[in-house]
């Protein structure tokens, strides 16, 4: 492993994955967000393209970037980052506060506004370092963070992709009485495997690897508060192109809710794609190729 420093940002360069001699290099950057160090992962084509397609991936509520987006299983192509790189993307993945290799701040809490602001800072950093506005892709809770960020910063990202979008635009957030201090609950193997519900859509070896890597990356559950800030979410305030990805059997992504959301979008550059035979973890399951090709088709459509 080589250690490089540039402009106050630390880059950790990791070797090729032992399971795939053609795998691209995984880079780790530490980027400042209002005084807090954020861990940003990066993969890009070995042969740099003249105009790479920049994309930033945001993970969900429980697990961080590497188990979600760069799962390496011998003999299987499960890394979303690798699969996007093969389509010509320069792929970034952010660990939110309290996840993976990004530490909690002194409060111990993450909040919707704090998370959206962190993403905005990362998007600015990517554009400054690549001269290209990235598309922002959010999975599950990450899709809510992505939406809030683009509402608060209408011209910052090129486009936004929401996958596993778990809310109804007509429902208000219901918040029970919270705790004064973060709980720091231990994550469990049962929870790590809970999203894989469609029979024969992913191998048991892949599920076992995901559970192992998830618990290693995120042994404790990150804590959120001030959840009423999610009530800011408003499809009518999304001014940039949007792709809504829905897996057929996702219990958190309801078609009627999606329809209410989709018709409110003011930008005519919008698409809604349903991934057959997938569930909330479709990005690692049978529909994974359809998912990345849908992302690629959408981004290339915007270039026409």
Tens-digit pLDDT profile for residues 261-290: 999 999 999 999 999 999 999 999 999 999
pLDDT at 177: 59
pLDDT at 15: 40
Q: Which two tokens stand for residue 295?
A: 């992302």
pLDDT at 19 over 60: no
pLDDT at 55: 98
pLDDT at 179 over 80: no
Question: How many CB atoms sit inside 10 A of residue 176's CB?
Answer: 5
Q: How confident is the model at residue 93 (pLDDT cuts 50, 70, 90)?
A: very high
pLDDT at 159 over 70: yes
What would the mean pLDDT of 63-90 be, rounded to a whole number? 97
pTM summary value: 0.92
Gyration radius of the chain over CA positions: 18
What would the mean pLDDT of 80-92 be, rounded to a whole number? 97
Return the ∠ at Cα 221 (arms to 136 and 124), rounded to 5°.
Answer: 25
Question: How many CB atoms sit inside 10 A of residue 132's CB?
Answer: 14
What phi, psi does 87 have (nearest 5°)? -95, 10
Q: Which domain does 144 fall in, by range?
A: 2-303
Summary mean pLDDT of the chain: 91
pLDDT at 3 over 70: no
pLDDT > 70 in the chain, percent: 91
Query: Distances in Å between the alpha carbon of 181 and those of 97, 107, 108?
Result: 16, 9, 8
What phi, psi does 114 have (nearest 5°)? -65, -45
Q: Are strands 89-95 and 36-43 parallel, antiparallel or unpaired?
A: antiparallel
Give me the CATH number covering residue 40: 3.40.50.1820
What would the mean pLDDT of 78-82 be, rounded to a whole number? 98
Higher per-residue pLDDT: 294 or 19: 294
pLDDT at 304: 79
Contact 65, 95 (CB under 8 A): yes
Crossing angle of the two packed helices 141-152 and 112-130, in degrees rounded to 10:
70
pLDDT at 178: 65
Report how many domains make up the chain: 1
Higher per-residue pLDDT: 181 or 13: 181
> What single-letter DSSP state applies at residue 219?
S
Among candidate residues 34, 172, 218, the one with its CA nearest the CA of residue 114: 34
pLDDT at 10 over 60: no
CB half-sphere exposure, 39, CA atoms < 13 A: 19
Higher per-residue pLDDT: 1 or 85: 85
pLDDT at 47: 80
Question: What does the alpha-carbon distance between residue 291 and residue 287 come to, in Å, rounded to a whole number?
Answer: 6
Contacts of residues 12-20 at CB distance under 8 Å and 24 or more positions apart, as own/partner, are 17/72, 19/72, 19/73, 19/74, 19/75, 20/72, 20/82
Q: For the CA atoms of 286, 288, 289, 292, what is the dihedral angle to 10 degrees? A: 160
Q: How confident is the model at residue 52 (pLDDT cuts 50, 70, 90)?
A: confident
What would the pLDDT profile of 111-135 be if each residue is shown by its tens digit? Answer: 999 999 999 999 999 999 999 999 9
What would the pLDDT profile of 225-263 be if each residue is shown by its tens digit? Answer: 999 999 999 999 999 999 999 999 999 999 999 999 999
pLDDT at 230: 96
pLDDT at 4 over 90: no
Q: How confident is the model at residue 71 (pLDDT cuts 50, 70, 90)?
A: very high
pLDDT at 104 over 60: yes
- What lies within 8 Å, CB to CB, of 166 at 6+ separation is 140, 141, 143, 144, 252, 253
Question: What does the alpha-carbon distance between residue 214 and residue 242 come to, in Å, rounded to a whole number?
Answer: 29
Contact 121, 33 (CB under 8 A): yes
pLDDT at 176: 64
């Amino acid at each position: 492993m080589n250690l490089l420093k540039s402009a106050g940002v630390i880059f950790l360069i990791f070797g090729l994955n032992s399971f795939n001699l053609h795998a691209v290099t995984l880079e780790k950057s530490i980027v400042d967000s209002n005084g807090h160090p954020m861990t940003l992962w990066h993969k890009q084509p070995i042969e740099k393209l003249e105009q790479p397609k920049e994309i930033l991936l945001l993970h969900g509520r429980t697990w961080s970037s590497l188990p979600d987006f760069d799962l390496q299983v011998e003999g299987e192509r499960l890394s979303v980052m690798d699969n996007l790189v093969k389509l010509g993307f320069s792929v970034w993945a952010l660990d939110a506060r309290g996840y993976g290799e990004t530490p909690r701040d002194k409060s111990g809490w993450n909040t919707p506004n704090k998370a959206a602001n962190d993403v905005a800072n990362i998007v600015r950093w990517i554009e400054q370092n690549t001269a290209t506005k990235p598309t922002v892709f959010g999975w599950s809770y990450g899709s809510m963070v992505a939406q809030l960020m683009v509402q608060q910063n209408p011209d910052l990202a090129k486009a936004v992709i929401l996958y596993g979008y778990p809310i109804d635009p007509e429902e208000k957030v219901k918040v029970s009485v919270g705790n004064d201090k973060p709980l720091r609950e231990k994550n469990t193997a049962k929870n790590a495997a809970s999203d894989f519900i469609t029979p024969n859509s992913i191998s048991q070896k892949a599920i076992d690897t995901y559970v192992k890597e998830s618990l290693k990356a995120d042994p404790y559950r990150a804590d959120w508060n001030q959840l009423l800030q999610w009530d800011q979410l408003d499809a009518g305030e999304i001014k940039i192109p949007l792709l809504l990805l829905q897996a057929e059997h996702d219990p958190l992504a309801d078609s009627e809710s999606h329809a209410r959301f989709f018709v409110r979008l003011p930008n005519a550059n919008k698409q809604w794609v349903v991934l057959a035979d997938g569930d909330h973890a479709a990005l690692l399951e049978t529909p994974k190729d359809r998912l990345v090709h849908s992302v690629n088709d959408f981004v290339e459509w915007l270039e026409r």
